[in-house]
Amino acid sequence: MSNTLADCREDAVMVTLRVMLEDLVLFHGLKANSDTIFNADDLRAAAKKHEAFLLKHFSVRDGEGQSLEGTVVSRDDSAILDKGVQLEDLMKLIAVYELRFTPAKPKPAFLTFTQNFGGAKSVVPSIMEFMALQTGVWIEKPVQLQPGQPHTVALDWDNPPDEAPQNWRELRKKRAEEFQKRLGITSYSGLYSYIYLTDREVRHEILVPLLTFEKWLPLERANPEFLEVAEQEAARQKVAEWFRDRNPVEIDGLPVKPILQRLQFFGLNISDFAQNAEPHRVSAYQARLGIILKYPTKAPPNRVRLTWDSFHEAAPFLRSVVYDHEKDPTEEFFVRDQPRWEWTREGNPPTAHDFKLPNLVVTSKRSSINLMAALLLALAVYIGISRASTLAFGGALVVGAGVLAVVSISNTPTAIPTSKAGIVTKHAATLLQNIYRAFDYNEKSDVYDALAHSVTGDLLEELFLKIQSGLRMQEQGGAMAHVKRVRITRIALATPVTEARLPVNCTWRVIGTVEHWGHIHTRENEYTARIHLSTTPEDRGRIVAFEVTDEKRVRFETGIRQFEDQ
């Protein structure tokens, strides 16, 4: 057992190592005499040799994974008495070493500490009590460094600590600030698990240090210190196959195999999680795997059973944060004796929406409506409604395609009275809402079927691609945002109004979210467009032209869902 204090300064890391004399005996093979006394000269010689031992087996790396050069500044072995040291005193007496590690650049943002005293084949692993300071001020609680398990410290040189927390309240405030700053990922060496329950899928996201994951599945790399981008890509299939046969999941009693939706190798910078950094070379001692396993569902699930059977000495249990739809998160623990978690829906699953809406006929003083056309149109609406009711589960999709604005108007502009114009704009607003709701479906064919209730003609394919592109968050690797709200800010009937064609000017805002790794990315965009509605019997008031004239980002922010007591 050793005790270590690392004072991180702008241009150096000063490390104080307090080593029990027992370590000198164990690591350098010293023998006691017949009176169980260890010779003083042997102990002092071992203390000197131990300098090289410490520099070899205690390492400091910067944020790029490069090892800092270390030197021994001083050694204090005055605890070794001239008469020698008895066996029972070896754990009471210590030798003190001062080491200096110099970073390649001043003010390092991250420092990673690793000890491997005793080597990989040591029968009794050597544990180090470790405490980090920044310019003499402690910045985190002491931790135990296990052999080969790195510990990373983040350093803030713009706002360095001027004093340590003086009481429990200050300590809790500091931890809460760090929790927000690091998006809930407060440990660089911890294993994180997030389970998301939605009406479209069950998703399990795992964030695990590379060295911990390699206890399960070693990954090939040419340089043991680093994992290159090509090696990261080569690991994808291997990781996917490994998870397909482990940690089984059942949805409504049926086993479901996972789809590896994403595999990323993150470095130390927390912005990698928030902004979805491009693949880059990572240090084996600092890399973390971000694994997203998707378990698709055909309908809103009523029961989910997840078993975690991947345990080892570096991960003896799994703590998962569970996000059940829009509820506050809860936590679940998986251990060897209780490796299974079950979820049952409260209440009934969401029911399919009623697509049948009243037929609205807009007329002006110059309008004329053909009775036969109206009857044919009513039949078309009925057929369309019957077809729509066969679409998959809802909750999310509210199709207003049955709201029809059937107008036969002369070419004279402003032919529709204000009261009738309100009917048209309300109809257009409903169609616009339904366009976004269509993207709540998983399958492309279902999205197309839903869009067909609001859009017609060649515009269908064009609008599908346009809306899909607008919902992708490039900051999150092109993940599709879930639309939370579509808010119409301005809408009005435009001119000229032509026969069977109603132009509507509209401005609206779309709020979408992508949630990963326990935090939420929220984006709000604003669009302005001229929408053309066709009132012919075959088009039934659907959109036939969609001209976006302006678009802009209103906000983009990242936050976390808090537990109820936070």
Per-residue pLDDT at 365: 42
Exposed e or buried b per residue across 113-140, where buried means at least 16 C-beta atoms within 10 angstroms of its C-beta: bbbbbbeeeeeeebebebbbbbeeebbb
Distance CA 282, CA 418 (A): 64
Q: Which whole-number Å values give the CA distances from 268 to 111, 143, 153, 183, in the listed order?
A: 10, 19, 10, 13
Left (φ > 0), alpha (ψ -120 to 50) or beta: where does 138 sit?
Answer: beta
CA 90 from centre of chain:
49
**Helix segments in 14-165, DSSP class H:** 21-28, 40-57
What average pLDDT values come out for the chain (566 residues) when binned by 10 residues? Answer: 91 96 91 93 96 95 95 96 93 95 95 83 70 90 87 92 70 64 67 92 94 93 94 93 94 95 85 69 92 91 96 89 91 94 90 45 43 38 38 36 40 51 87 89 85 88 90 69 92 84 94 86 94 86 92 87 60
Beta-sheet pairing, 405-406 with 360-361: parallel
Cβ count near 63 (within 10 Å): 20
Distance CA 154, CA 405 (A): 61
Distance CA 502, CA 360 (A): 14
- Find where tokens 């107008």 sit: 407
Nearest 5°: CA angle at 39, between 37 and 44?
Answer: 135
Give the long-range contacts of residues 324-330, CB within 8 A, separation 24 or more: 324/197, 325/197, 325/198, 325/199, 328/561, 328/562, 328/563, 328/564, 329/518, 329/561, 329/562, 329/563, 330/563
Nearest to 407 by CA among 498, 505, 472, 291: 498
Residues 492, 505: contact at Cβ < 8 Å? yes
Residues in Cβ contact with 71 at an 8 Å cutoff, skipping those fewer than 6 apart: 55, 99, 100
> Where in the chain is CATH 3.10.450?
360-560
What burial class does residue 277 get, using C-beta atoms within 10 Å of its C-beta: 0-12 exposed, 13-18 middle, 19+ buried? middle
End-to-end CA distance of the chain: 37
Global pTM value? 0.74
Per-residue pLDDT at 42: 96
Per-residue pLDDT at 149: 87
Nearest to 447 by CA among 439, 457, 456: 439
Per-residue pLDDT at 401: 36
Residues 483, 437: contact at Cβ < 8 Å? yes
H or E stretch covering 468: helix 459-471
Nearest to 511 by CA among 480, 534, 485, 535: 485
Q: Which amino acid is at 280?
A: H
CATH number of this structure's domain 360-560, picked from the four choices 3.90.25, 2.30.30, 1.10.287, 3.10.450: 3.10.450
Rg for the chain, CA atoms, rounded: 33
Cβ count near 256 (within 10 Å): 18
